[in-house]
Structure 1
Amino acid sequence: MTNQNVLVSDVKGVAMAVAAMKNQSMFSSSVASSMIESGGVAGCIFTIPRSIKLLKVETAEVGGGAARVNAWVDSLRASSPPRVKSTTTSPSTLSQTGDEENSWNLRHPSAINMFEEITNASKGKQIVMFLDYDGTLSPIVQDPDRAFMSNEMRKAVRAVARYFPTAIVSGRCRDKVYSFVKLAELYYAGSHGMDIKGPSKSNKYKNANQQAVLCQPASEFVPMIDEVFKILVEKTKSISGARVENNKFCLSVHFRCVEEKSWAALAEQVSLVLNEYPKLKLTQGRKVLEIRPTIKWDKGKALEFLLESLGYANSNEVLPVYIGDDRTDEDAFKLLRDRGQGFGILVSKVPKETNASYSLQEPAEVKDFLRRLVKWKRLTLQ
């Protein structure tokens, strides 16, 4: 596969770059046209695989109104992804709830208990690991700036990266995630995959692109994100516990420390601000509202981009494994399920609606799974 780094500084540059890449058959005219329509790649450096589909601005309906705010508040009450809804109405629902949990566990069994099934599926294939950060490699904490991973978890991730290409895919700013993980040999996809960079060291994996991957499909939105960040900080400062985090290409409005009685006020403030910015959309994470550009890019697209960058476009010789705990990870889980290739693993202690194939209960189990994967790989190399 041939990749090319492309610097795009303005909309005119988009057209010139797209034309140049079309001449080299790097991707189709339909993809090229969508890039020009969106104008969403100005100021970007891309290492673009041959068949990746990029950028088309989608229409967002971020409108305000009491009905929408109430819907948001109802959504905020649920963890992300949402819990499986109980269909029971009987007063004696305890045993029935237990039956529902057992049913969910049968459909999403423990990745540790099903470890042999996972490794059997990898025979003759290269495992590629994708890991969410918050709630997966580190516990969820009240202060997002203190979501530190343990040294034991860092050792486990470093060991995994010795044998398998490994990426951290997070809603956080890429630099922030790197400051937590501190492993130069990984791929990092920050801002829900809108900021991707490869290892700073030489890559030893077969078929891997030796140049660092750098993809920032939402660069033109940075001034708008900065503007909205300042407005939201001002608008939410009267709501105790609310915190707005600037993740460069997206924003996070944390409400974990906000009393539930203030959730409606917070949702209303966010709604009023976003009414003025139709090119931004609102999604929900785990105790957080996510504000992102309205481009068709998410963690699933980031996974697809990285697989192609590693040389596994439309390949049957790869087994992607994605571990995450958040609603935003569902895009990646769904991609793997739709491809019929690889596995999603949801980190959750309770049954939740998910496209993942397997489950783990908490970061401690993620660490155990990663350690077991390394041990298995070492034994196969002996």
Structure 2
Amino acid sequence: MASAARPVRAALIGLSSSGNSSWASAAHLQALLTETGRSKIAITALANSSVQAAKAAMQKYGLPDHVKAYGSPEDLAADPDIDLVICNTRVDKHYETILPSIKAGKDVYVEWPIASDRKQIDEIVEAARKSGSRVAVGLQRRWTPPAAKLRDILDSGNGRLGKVLSSDVRAFGGTHDRETMPTGLKYFSQKDIGGNAIVIGVGHVLDIVASVVGRLDAQSIHSKSQIQRPNIRIQDPQTKETVEEVVTDVPDFLAVHGTIAQSSLTAPNATLSFLFRRGQPFPGTPALAWEINCEYGEIRITSATNMVFQMREGDGQVVIQVHYFDTHEVENVDWDWSEMQKKYPLLEEMS
């Protein structure tokens, strides 16, 4: 890894020149090109489907000439001047693009979910164990200010709120509409790809919840999934015209029930109830409504338009309230972005 004298030398996989709709350009590149980002991580190389594609991305985003261009994961893995590989490809490309670098002992950051299926994940984990590579998975929503504030409330509120008795979560979204998907998200209708509203969207919501109240006891989990609307219209995001109709094999409804593992914050047999439905909620209903019921009070969190909190320009407000049973007082809890975060805009809408 890099010494304290220089930034970590990183390669980006999946930064495309075809548009600004990729997570690599909308999120990672923005952060890496900030003053803080440059001080910690230096973009040393890009890897795309071809050397030409990598060079086109370098030109589009104004990256310096010394950045290397690679057209294969194996060539990237063979470069001794790269410490860290950051993967932003579609889920079904994660495995093939990061495995060579993991086997070469490089550290890897890969967006959630890590791969398309359990077999690929097991192979990635075993390769990392053998090579000493450290693989980090992008479950970054647990570090958003509202999630951090919730942890602070529970950590500091044990005296007044007591232990967690139960938690109830209702989430809606994953896509903007219950019956359509934009062309860029057609793969959300194909379970084999490994990336969809359940795996990605619900995965992030459940990770936020687990980071606040604790993980579920695996032996206690009961779940039910359902495909309520199998016929999906694929729409051009610009014209809104239907260009194709497909039959999806991905559930659009999920209910999970289980016992929260006991900890210093939770009472024995504390229960989590979770419900997700893809698309819009009933008018006026928030995209996320989450309640944490404690011995002496209750916390209520609502996120108006995005089930993973504020993330993009135009997302509605996230509200945190605490009801104290002894006084019947309802307190509105303030939260805020850090000073560094305030310097940079929220993401633009991606299609």
Taking structure 1 as the reference length, the TM-score comes to 0.26
Structure with greater strand percent: 2
Taking structure 2 as the reference length, the TM-score comes to 0.27
Structure with greater helix percent: 1
